[in-house]
Structure 1
């Protein structure tokens, strides 16, 4: 019998699609922009996979909205070890301390794995409370997912939790969200923990890039009249923004057409409103991980992607390091549609065929 402690941070990722680049201290602002919780849905997907692929699994969890309901919906009869401390807790309001209390209870009950739903901040809470040799594994639901303790998708995380036999060490990293919103990535190693060993676990994000000036200039020169360009975050696409003649948002999404910036650092709704008849979304994979959608750019939602031609750009060095590309849009059908082989632009004229796994 494998005993798995399940805890959900229900507010994780709420700020992503509305352009806040994180949810820490921004729940009310996210709600005012129309954000909806995404963690519960991702928890349901992960737990359904855990149920499908696992045998003789006992789920220990915390009261709603931190796991009990999702576990029951997946077909488990969970052991509920406690409830959120606040009587006013809702699906959009929980605290770091409530996550930590759940992890302490899991540790005391000797679980074989702590299976959490959230982002890097949640990973830090779990790692700092867990300690020792008990492994942990994350279901990616946050805006920032820089740590190497997450499955590459919710369903992959469920499969890993059900099937793993060996563990290894991995890093938990976090960034300063305020600096991130100002366009600076300041990472900090917060813990080294034990995680399941699996190919479907993501790597830690690497920040290195390459010289992309020639690539950026070529993309800018080929910009077509009347076409709306949705330009994602990152230094590679940032070089394209500069080549187009404007100072873009380094870690946000900008929209440009015919020499005019239509949206700067926009959320999903603003981006959708700015789209025209012909649209191109330009993104670059995250170094070390290979994600082109679903990590740090949730503003590029299925509603945006489905209306756009997709252009992926990257330095040769980054592609050599990544190997494959990945997508986690939140829509399994769209993810499946995007999988296959994709031509990635690596220079003024050169393109490289890369698999979207």
Structure 2
């Protein structure tokens, strides 16, 4: 049987998120973009779209992207080797008007789904220019993400499209497009306004429901946890503990991983694998800042002292509780039946210092508070 050819629209706002890293609370407007660049911000929206589209490479024979020239889509399609056609040529100095014009043009291109990357400002532009009875899906790349039309992470967006392509989903629903006033937000005032609604795959609601304790899809949740941790990675030394949840982060980084050991990452490259406690202690002394990622042993709740003795009291103290990132799916946490996380480092004083509340990363920008108890 001949495989169907899906026509997927793609619009990227390359400036989305540009102001976030330099504290500008958004990226709307040419003046904000210019200011962000002056402060040293770099464009990252394309990379976020790449992480979504990378999940679709096995469907290349079934896909044709209909997109915008240059950084608004065509460059990335060319880079990833997807078949594509250019439906709109933007002005040299890209603006919101180009996004709106591109959306109007793609609405005439007989596409099956429109993917767009940006923040709430981009969603507003798409909403104003694209028919509300044609399905869309947002790839989060902006500073402000209040609208319900975005997947909770770039990879989650890729998973939704993957499920659609494999014939698992057909239903759609309308979701709100929201935005806040950036000028007031910079002054500490949050004023949100609804600008309309757009049609999105119903699977998007399912993914968001994971945050509210719904049934989790392990693969999607692990991808969301990985996306959250990877977004945090800057120029610190990252000590990656053992376990399958941490392994999922390493997989998303395309790095080799020691499942039952401890690896060390710097600038998203492995600089030491399967390290001992003494090797780790020596490495930590060479770097100004360090962070530690650990998960818990399912059913028990131990985060230290069971299978990760390489994380010695000296190592844990050097890194500090404030730089500790615990990762786990909500399903694994629920299996504890209300019991706390446990620490058994071999140093009773350290265990007492670690006791108390800690945030556990359970998804993309999704954390829960749990208590840590020392083992008597």
TM-score scaled to structure 2, two decimals? 0.56
- 1:76 paired with 2:71, answer no
Which residues in structure 2 correspond to 1:75-224 (within 5 Å)? Answer: 75-84=81-90, 86=91, 89=92, 93-164=93-164, 165=169, 166-198=171-203, 201-202=207-208
Corresponding residue for residue 43 of structure 2? 37
- 1:9 paired with 2:13, answer yes
RMSD over aligned Cα atoms: 3.8
Deviation at 1:340, TM superposition (A): 4.7
Deviation at 1:307, TM superposition (A): 7.0
For the residue of structure 2 that corresponds to 1:59, the secondary structure is strand
Looking at structure 2, the residues matched to 109 and 179 of structure 1 have their Cα atoms a distance apart, in angstroms, of 38
Q: 1 or 2 for the larger relative contact order (CA 8 Å, sep ≥6)?
A: 1
- C-alpha offsets along residues 247-286 of structure 1, whole Å, 9 cap, x if unaligned? xxxxxxxxxxxxxxxxxxxxxxxxxxxxxxxxxxxxxxxx
Greater CA radius of gyration, 1 or 2?
2
- C-alpha offsets along residues 82-129 of structure 1, whole Å, 9 cap, x if unaligned? 211x2xx2xxx4111111111111111121111001111101111121
For the residue of structure 2 that corresponds to 1:121, the secondary structure is helix
For the residue of structure 2 that corresponds to 1:13, the secondary structure is coil
Distance 1:201 1:304, change over 3 A: farther
Matched-pair contact (CA < 8 Å) for 2:119–2:141: yes
Deviation at 1:294, TM superposition (A): 8.2
The number of equivalent residue pairs is: 244
Matched-pair contact (CA < 8 Å) for 2:225–2:327: no
Corresponding residue for residue 238 of structure 1? none
Distance 1:304 1:172, change over 3 A: farther
Unaligned runs of 5+ in 1: 207-290, 309-327
Matched-pair contact (CA < 8 Å) for 2:63–2:83: no
Looking at structure 1, the residues matched to 53 and 225 of structure 2 have their Cα atoms a distance apart, in angstroms, of 25
Corresponding residue for residue 59 of structure 1? 65
Looking at structure 1, the residues matched to 75 and 58 of structure 2 have their Cα atoms a distance apart, in angstroms, of 17
Matched-pair contact (CA < 8 Å) for 2:48–2:141: yes
For the residue of structure 1 that corresponds to 2:22, the secondary structure is coil
Q: Would you tell me which structure has more helix in proportion to its own residues?
A: 2
Looking at structure 2, the residues matched to 343 and 60 of structure 1 have their Cα atoms a distance apart, in angstroms, of 38
TM-score scaled to structure 1, two decimals? 0.59
- C-alpha offsets along residues 295-320 of structure 1, whole Å, 9 cap, x if unaligned? 9xx9x842277579xxxxxxxxxxxx
Corresponding residue for residue 22 of structure 1? 26
Corresponding residue for residue 300 of structure 2? none
Distance 1:350 1:169, change over 3 A: farther
Matched-pair contact (CA < 8 Å) for 1:115–1:161: no
Deviation at 1:48, TM superposition (A): 1.8
Unaligned runs of 5+ in 2: 213-223, 240-248, 255-264, 269-291, 297-325, 329-339, 341-354, 364-376
Deviation at 1:28, TM superposition (A): 0.8
